[in-house]
Amino acid sequence: MATLTAVGANSSGTVVLSNAQTGTGASTNTADRGGGNGQVNPGTGAGTALLTIVSTVGATPTLTVDVQGSMDNSDWFNVAYATTAAPETPVVTSLTITTATTNRLIMRANQPWRFLRLSLSSNTNVTITATLYVF
């Protein structure tokens, strides 16, 4: 698994977390929105981000996705996000995918995580591509 910089001079502001990923476990890549000092640097990535998860499915599909953050790229916890249908209502629940769809999750500003990944579980016939856009 690679850790890709999401902000700064060497970044486009976009990180592909999963590209046609199947199975279970952590996303193929991890996004890093902080600086090299182990802290999220104000003004360089602690702002809002958009996580887009596009799914394709086969027969009887189901997938559980946890959006996880970490300050040290080692200790992971579920982070708050909001849906585009309710952008001011943060949730920390797992996302369950059962159809071919595009989910857009708003990663709220000023949350205490530097690294972001997805944790996939209970996957039956679902393939996802997930991209994080950092603003």
Phi, psi of 133 (to 5 degrees): -110, 115
The count of C-alpha atoms lying within 13 angstroms of the C-alpha of 16, restricted to the half-sphere facing its C-beta, is 7
Query: Could you give the percent of the chain with pLDDT greater than 70?
Result: 84
Strands (E) in 10-114, as ranges, are 14-21, 25-26, 29-32, 49-70, 77-78, 81-83, 86-91, 95-97, 102-107
pLDDT digits (tens, 9 = 90+) for 40-74: 444 445 778 999 999 999 999 999 999 999 999 99
Domains and CATH numbers, the chain: 2-134 (2.60.120)
Q: What is the mean pLDDT of residues 6-31?
A: 84
Judge whether residue 79 has pLDDT over 80.
yes
Distance CA 93, CA 68 (A): 11
pTM (predicted TM-score): 0.87
Q: What is the mean pLDDT of residues 86-104?
A: 97
